[in-house]
């Protein structure tokens, strides 16, 4: 299923219809993830009004289509694992860049093992690393 088909499925499954505005927001997130709400608004360039974008993102978050990645007191948005492969992030504390980390099967197996040892049923998880990207490390040297 491609992104548009998946979005249509998720919306229908939850009693919502596909609209052009919802499609545009989803496509923007699919092309540019993770991005801030301001970036979503700017990239849509007036095709969807600001209030509608906020409502759509709130709906998408409630339906598990979008997830917020905290960046201090702000956040960035990306499509959830329903739309992309499972992954984690590294967040630079200096330039605020969010780096998508490649999937690591050993890490995932370790998480599953720890959960089993604790008799815990995982439904979802996200790992966020905080530190400094290579560019910011070189600036401080």
- Work out the angle at residue 29's Cα, subtended by the Cα atoms of residues 60 and 47, and round it to the nearest 5 degrees: 90
Are 29 and 78 spatial neighbours (Cβ–Cβ below 8 Å)? yes
**pLDDT, tens digit, for every residue of 2-44?**
999 999 999 999 999 999 999 999 999 999 779 999 999 999 9
Average pLDDT over residues 38-55: 96
Query: What pLDDT does 40 receive?
Result: 96
Structural domains of the chain sorted by starting position, each given as residue range(s) with its CATH number in brackets: 1-84 (1.10.10.10), 86-141 (3.30.1490.190)
**pLDDT, tens digit, for every residue of 62-108?**
999 999 988 878 889 999 988 888 888 898 989 888 888 988 999 99
């Amino acid at each position: 299923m491609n992104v548009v088909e998946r979005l249509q499925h998720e919306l229908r499954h939850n009693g919502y219809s596909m609209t052009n505005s919802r499609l545009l927001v989803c496509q923007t997130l699919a092309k540019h993830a993770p991005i801030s709400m301001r970036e979503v608004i700017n990239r849509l360039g007036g095709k969807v009004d600001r209030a509608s974008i906020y409502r759509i993102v709130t709906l998408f978050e409630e339906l598990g289509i979008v997830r917020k990645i905290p960046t201090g007191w702000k956040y960035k948005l990306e499509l959830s694992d329903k739309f992309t492969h499972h992954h984690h992030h590294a967040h630079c504390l200096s330039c605020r860049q969010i780096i998508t980390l490649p999937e690591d099967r050993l890490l995932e197996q370790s998480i599953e093992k720890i959960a089993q040892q604790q008799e815990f049923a995982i439904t979802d998880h996200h790992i966020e690393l905080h530190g400094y990207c290579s560019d910011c490390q070189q600036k401080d040297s």
